[in-house]
Structure 1
Amino acid sequence: MRTLLEFEKPIAELESKLEDMKTLASENNVDVSSAVRNLSNSIEELRKDTFSNLTRWQRVQLSRHPDRPYSLDYIELLCDEFHELHGDRNVKDDPAIVSGLANIDGKSVMIIGQQKGRKTKERQFRNFGMPNPEGYRKALRMMKMAEKFNIPIVTLIDTPGAFPGLEAEERGQGEAIARNLKEMMTLNVPVICIVIGEGASGGALGIGIGDRVLMLENSWYSVISPENCSTILWKSWDFKEQAADALKLTAEDMLGFGLVDGIIKEPRGGAHLDFETMGKTLKKTILSEIKALSKQKPEERVNKRIDKFCSMGVVVE
């Protein structure tokens, strides 16, 4: 059954009426083609108006939609072949990060993605998409392997943040993320990072340093979630909508600040409504970016990557 967000309900009600009208016409052999056409147009207009004027908080809600494609969904849509690789060769395998060698239209790619899980047991298994230090160390191991064999890297970012538990801190969560930031800066292969859902804090940045950083239209990227920001500033989650506006965390905001390089359009209504179209769009984008980046010399890519991130937050008067 399709999950509806509050602002989607008026559209769903009209869609239900349309289905009832078609059923009634079919059962009674009545021509209602004109009414069906008018109602269909009304639905399309309402959908267009609704999704062209989403608030920042509504985009946050869409990024968390339970039906939204996750990393493994995109891997299935994108790849002709995918061989998952496990473990950090130090502690254990972290299911919150999936990684492996893939073939996309004949092109070898190393894919690293954060995975949340859908049902309760899977969410627990994936730790709700919150990686432990071994997850980031696994990711770095895969990146170094890709560099060794001159294979482009694609990361899919979708996390509410790195796992903040005591055991994660004991195993060096901060150091693991910091090392990834340093090492990703100087990888000599093309690196493409795509925020497909939530991009929260260092948990996202730990696999987010690349030549091209892109965001799906209904994703967000920020140092903190609206709820946690609201809790800190107002001592309550009740101001999460105001916090989302203050954080300016949408793809459009990030592009305007120069913190990302581009926005990938989603099907109207969100990626969850059309996996296939979203997968095709993402594949086309990835292959196009790899082709463009592969024309540059490794030293040129690395220098541009370093300059891009070093210029963020710098004000010149």
Structure 2
Amino acid sequence: MLVYERDFAELKTKVDELEAFCQERHIDLTSEIKLLRERIRMLEEEIYQNLSAFERVHLARLPERPGAMDYIQAIFPDFLELHGDRSFGDDPSIVGGLATLEGVPVTVIGNRRGNDTKENMKYNFGMAHPEGYRKARRLMQQAEKFGRPIITLVDTPGAYPGTGAEERGQGEAIAQNLFIMSALKVPIITIIIGQGGSGGALALAVADRILMLENAFFSVISPEGCASILFKDPSRAREAAEALKLTARDLYELNLIDEIILEPLGGAHRDKTGMAERIKERLVYHLKELLPKQPEELVSSRVARYRRVGWDFIL
């Protein structure tokens, strides 16, 4: 929880206590209490609409922020999870399977990070191993075979950098995903729902449409990592976050994403149901736009899109 979020919670609690006290003592301060609530709301709105890049990074990392499974369960109630990469094993930090969206069969893939310490450990904090990316690739190729659009939900600090992951071909697994996704003949929609870290995020984000939640971020490196490398001082992470241009607003202005999905005031965790409904509405909108396109048109448009922004390295 951000410091000012805790302060707002305490202010609201104090006003609630004042209201209860007045009711108990039969004191009429209705207009004054209403004015206090309105001032708190206006101050909260002013602060949350003008967050710095680093403050948005903190919001994207909140443990209570909805993750891929929260949205999958809310948007795709018929979701059927599939497992394994048919090579090494099943990586639980990547979740994927079959579902329908307004009657349209789709393949859904996302990063799973967990909501508490036990789940964080189980899902490796959302950092996938090579088998996770190979599972995603298998499901995407299956989707192409059966003509199903692909929806990916990105929320990861990055790919797992451990020795075992490197020994099993982490870099190659990510590179294969980039190559395969660039040529898939079905619509691909990516939503950055939280952290979009480095190649681990990009491995699920070569898409026809890239949408970002208002307080998500998408970056080649974390602000702390950037500050450590460039400034030799991790305490300058706030400065690095501004320089990285990693917020949804920055990326939209740079034409690197297609749309910003607004969040409830204070973040997606404030209204998980409402946030899921908003995401579903935008998914349906973009899917209807993409479905009539011919496979060759999808691929050529996708290739042109990434060449336009200088991402020739994946093509």
TM-score bracket, shorter-length normalisation? over 0.9
Q: Residue 36 of structure 1 aligns to which amino acid in structure 2?
A: I
Structure 1 residue 7: Cα displacement = 2.7
TM-score by length of 1: 0.95
Q: 1:54 aligns with which of 48, 51, 56?
A: 51
Q: Quote the RMSD (CA, aligned, Å).
A: 1.2
> d(CA) in 2 for partners of 1:178 and 1:257?
24
Asked if the contact 2:63/2:116 (under 8 Å) is kept, the reply is no
Q: Deviations over 1:257-316 (max 9, x none)?
A: 1111111111111101000110100000001111110021111111000000112138xx
Against the structure 1 CA distance between its residues 291 and 10, is the aligned structure 2 distance closer, same or farther, given a 3 Å change threshold? same
Match of 1:30 in 2: 27
Q: 2:64 aligns with which of 64, 67, 70?
A: 67
Match of 2:299 in 1: 302
> d(CA) in 2 for partners of 1:71 and 1:236?
33
Q: What's the secondary structure of 1:81's corresponding residue?
A: coil
Structure 1 residue 118: Cα displacement = 1.5
Asked if the contact 1:80/1:105 (under 8 Å) is kept, the reply is no
Q: 1:102 aligns with which of 99, 104, 107?
A: 99
Match of 2:246 in 1: 249
Asked if the contact 2:66/2:272 (under 8 Å) is kept, the reply is yes
Structure 1 residue 86: Cα displacement = 0.5
Q: Deviations over 1:137-163 (max 9, x none)?
A: 000111111111111110000000000
Q: 1:288 aligns with which of 285, 288, 308?
A: 285
Asked if the contact 1:214/1:262 (under 8 Å) is kept, the reply is yes
Q: 2:41 aligns with which of 40, 44, 47?
A: 44
Asked if the contact 1:11/1:46 (under 8 Å) is kept, the reply is no
Q: What's the secondary structure of 1:221's corresponding residue?
A: strand
Q: 1:77 aligns with which of 74, 85, 95?
A: 74
Q: 2:164 aligns with which of 140, 164, 167?
A: 167
Q: 2:184 aligns with which of 187, 191, 209?
A: 187
Pair 1:279 & 2:276 matched: yes
Q: 1:88 aligns with which of 80, 85, 103?
A: 85
> d(CA) in 1 for partners of 2:23 and 2:134?
59
Q: Residue 62 of structure 2 aligns to which amino acid in structure 1?
A: H
Matches within 5 A, 1:222-233: 222-233=219-230
Matches within 5 A, 1:231-270: 231-270=228-267
Number of aligned residues? 311
Q: Which moved more, 1:10-19 or 1:159-168?
A: 10-19
Asked if the contact 1:74/1:279 (under 8 Å) is kept, the reply is yes
Q: Report sequence identity in percent.
A: 48
Asked if the contact 1:93/1:135 (under 8 Å) is kept, the reply is yes
**Structure 1 residues without counterparts, runs of 5 or longer:** none
Match of 1:176 in 2: 173
Structure 1 residue 32: Cα displacement = 2.6
Asked if the contact 1:97/1:139 (under 8 Å) is kept, the reply is yes
> d(CA) in 1 for partners of 2:84 and 2:25?
61
TM-score by length of 2: 0.96
Q: What's the secondary structure of 2:79's corresponding residue?
A: strand
Q: Deviations over 1:30-69 (max 9, x none)?
A: 3332122101111110111001110010000011011100
Q: 2:193 aligns with which of 188, 191, 196?
A: 196
> d(CA) in 2 for partners of 1:287 and 1:210?
16
Match of 2:121 in 1: 124
Q: What's the secondary structure of 1:258's corresponding residue?
A: coil
Question: Where has structure 1 moved over 2 Å in runs of 4 or more?
Answer: 25-32, 103-107
> d(CA) in 2 for partners of 1:286 and 1:312?
23
> d(CA) in 2 for partners of 1:80 and 1:165?
35
Q: Deviations over 1:159-202 (max 9, x none)?
A: 00000011111100111000100100111111001100010110
Q: What's the secondary structure of 2:196's corresponding residue?
A: strand
Structure 1 residue 9: Cα displacement = 3.0
> d(CA) in 2 for partners of 1:36 and 1:107?
49
Structure 1 residue 237: Cα displacement = 1.5
Q: What's the secondary structure of 2:206's corresponding residue?
A: coil
Q: What's the secondary structure of 2:143's corresponding residue?
A: helix
Structure 1 residue 236: Cα displacement = 2.6
